[in-house]
Structure 1
């Protein structure tokens, strides 16, 4: 359990139901305004979308209960009603917020009009203390949204999850570590070790002391080790924002039994691509609804000419390929990767070692339901 005294967040306060009001209580996706974390000693409000299967189908609650999910968007993206609606279709009570305040008017929170201002509140604002940084506010909003979600009678206690995309994936790594009420998590793209990813160029305006403070108070590496829930980490091998090596280091911050990985060959980077993987709902459903779990690579043995992968799967695997690279010159997004087929058998999956060798590689497999998972990254 994380030591509360070490946190910059007040968990006792954030885990209380925030004051809220409905801006729209009749639509298929409701609009809510709730009290957010203070910003520079001033109170703020947060805009959110909410729905569940009953509201989506009939326009009102019918007395049924559902698992819940908190959705965290990334970058400059405001709250997206479509994302909430998609999860309500999946059978979940879902909430997402305007984490970047792009919808907020004066008096509701920090108003950020330009890209420079949005980057400043992520990085440069650390000079004013960690509670001014957007990472602090976004995590606080997500935990408050979780508290609000849990207050709804239609949401099943002990059956809530969190998933986020890009910057939201980064924040998912934080909140799943500090809010142990979550029972499952799925960060997409975003990872820890922020000073090692492509965004490190934005650290150039920070002093040595500011960089150290940012990494010690905001970066998920400080919080993810305290996660107690199964977590599905998703990223592409050529992502332009979150490099694969720090992503791999991030996955290893939690125990192997809770660690599930999907390094996706040539995965793009945006919100539709980030919420599209069917594996996220399948992963949550296996935890909350008792459905068939995703396959999992459970062991890796490197021999002279082959790599053997042990796996656990309740359904038949139909395809496996070993992806590898020897490209040490290009940045993550431009790195050249190749692949070779691997052989699936009941005793494991065997891939030949590429004749030219490899610097990094991973196994990607799909099952008969076309659900894909991968091994962890192998660094040779």
Structure 2
């Protein structure tokens, strides 16, 4: 693995493009090879493993992950052949979640979820009578044990303040390295089709998804939930921590670890999922991240979507988007950028599945994005002409369309921020 000073890297990256910046931080050739691993428990429905990650404090690290397939859940792994695979990335306060792995394995995927804090959660517990996974709904109560050779903790010190020295104590350096290693590992499993893999993450895991999809072109689909770039501006709750850094460290952090500097190189099809009032990844930063992507992309913006792990993995559109890229399933509807003429907004859409309803969402509030109240009304739906229309209230400050198909899958148009003389 490469070990370079952050300030040496900044000097190197000042004249580099996004792809060159990524390769100056992460040794993509080395990370494309499966890491050494050992099974902690390989005879249960949701299995545990530990693989070797990059050096930390001069020694190789241990990285914990849960792994499951349709076969491990049923007890007959002989049926596991040419499976698609998904890499699952938790957010702040989280860990590898057995119930998240189970969710995707039940859908027919090989699923691997890794921990990003150098810890391991307790082994899954199964009901003796039903053999169903016993789920702890309060994730804060999950016991996490520090591994003897675990990597950096998942705290502000490691995510922000450590920038500016040996990059091997930077949380992002380890997190992205371990995502790519987990991807390489699951691609090496005989039951997995290595050409049908995806990545999705929640909150900080969504942040990591943005970077991972930008540096690892082996993925066929990516879904960041909440997470985005441009955290150094706007209303992100992460901005104060970035601003407290010295000017040199702040510049280093932005160039190396803000997803905005990597998304410009993202050509993996990507679906952005967020809510209108998220305080961690505000809507304006989210849309700037969406616009930064040069490749295929889509949006799902939900009014007042809750922020959390179960809420983040609940939307059906996540799996439908992935399936459309690796199963040739029918894709989600795509709404073109809306236009406004006088007081009327219009947007064209494409959909292989009939659209059953459409809505227009807006807020007339000003001030903090997370505090604004939103209104929703039915939009006029021209199924034959594939056009959405709605009147835009005179005092609207932000607005967008959504379309829902007959499967119940919702997608959004770009979010339009109205520029007025008062702002």
Query: TM above 0.5, one fold?
Result: yes
* Structure 1 pair 203–111 and aligned structure 2 pair: CA distance change class (3 A): closer
SS of corresponding position for 2:292: coil
* Structure 1 pair 171–320 and aligned structure 2 pair: CA distance change class (3 A): same
> How far has the Cα of 1:334 moved from its partner?
1.2
Deviations 1:304-343, CA, capped at 9 Å, x for gaps: 12111100011221222211123222x2321222223210
> How far has the Cα of 1:135 moved from its partner?
1.6
> How far has the Cα of 1:62 moved from its partner?
3.0
> How far has the Cα of 1:13 moved from its partner?
1.2
Q: Where in structure 1 are there 5+ consecutive unaligned residues?
A: none
Match of 1:223 in 2: 262
> How far has the Cα of 1:204 moved from its partner?
4.1
> Which of 328, 331, 339 pairs up with 1:301?
339
CA distance in structure 2 between the partners assigned to 1:378 and 1:130 by the alignment: 39
Query: Is residue 179 from structure 1 mapped to residue 216 from structure 2 by the alignment?
Result: yes
TM-score by length of structure 2 reads: 0.85
CA distance in structure 2 between the partners assigned to 1:72 and 1:49 by the alignment: 11
4+ residue segments displaced more than 4 Å:
none
* Structure 1 pair 101–332 and aligned structure 2 pair: CA distance change class (3 A): farther
Query: Is residue 276 from structure 1 mapped to residue 314 from structure 2 by the alignment?
Result: yes
* Structure 1 pair 316–99 and aligned structure 2 pair: CA distance change class (3 A): same
Match of 1:108 in 2: 149
Match of 1:94 in 2: 111
CA distance in structure 1 between the partners assigned to 2:55 and 2:167 by the alignment: 13
Contact 2:397–2:417 (CA<8 Å) still a contact in 1? yes
Between 58-67 and 21-30, report the one with greater CA deviation.
Answer: 58-67
Match of 1:210 in 2: 249
- Root-mean-square deviation (CA, aligned residues, Å) is 1.7
SS of corresponding position for 1:283: helix
Q: How many pairs were matched up?
A: 373
Query: Is residue 258 from structure 1 mapped to residue 299 from structure 2 by the alignment?
Result: no
TM-score by length of structure 1 reads: 0.94
Match of 2:381 in 1: 344
Q: Where in structure 2 are there 5+ consecutive unaligned residues?
A: 1-17, 121-144, 419-423
Match of 1:372 in 2: 410
Contact 1:69–1:163 (CA<8 Å) still a contact in 2? yes
Match of 2:135 in 1: none
> How far has the Cα of 1:111 moved from its partner?
6.1
CA distance in structure 1 between the partners assigned to 2:279 and 2:73 by the alignment: 36
Between 68-77 and 33-42, report the one with greater CA deviation.
Answer: 33-42
Deviations 1:137-165, CA, capped at 9 Å, x for gaps: 11111110000000001111221000000
SS of corresponding position for 2:311: helix
Alignment of 1:1-380 (within 5 A): 2-3=19-20, 6-103=23-120, 105-110=146-151, 112=153, 118-196=155-233, 197-255=236-294, 258-329=296-367, 331-345=368-382, 346-347=384-385, 348-354=387-393, 356-380=394-418
> How far has the Cα of 1:5 moved from its partner?
7.4
> How far has the Cα of 1:65 moved from its partner?
1.6
> How far has the Cα of 1:372 moved from its partner?
0.7
Contact 2:152–2:169 (CA<8 Å) still a contact in 1? no
* Structure 1 pair 105–339 and aligned structure 2 pair: CA distance change class (3 A): closer
* Structure 1 pair 111–287 and aligned structure 2 pair: CA distance change class (3 A): closer
> How far has the Cα of 1:260 moved from its partner?
0.5
Contact 1:165–1:274 (CA<8 Å) still a contact in 2? yes
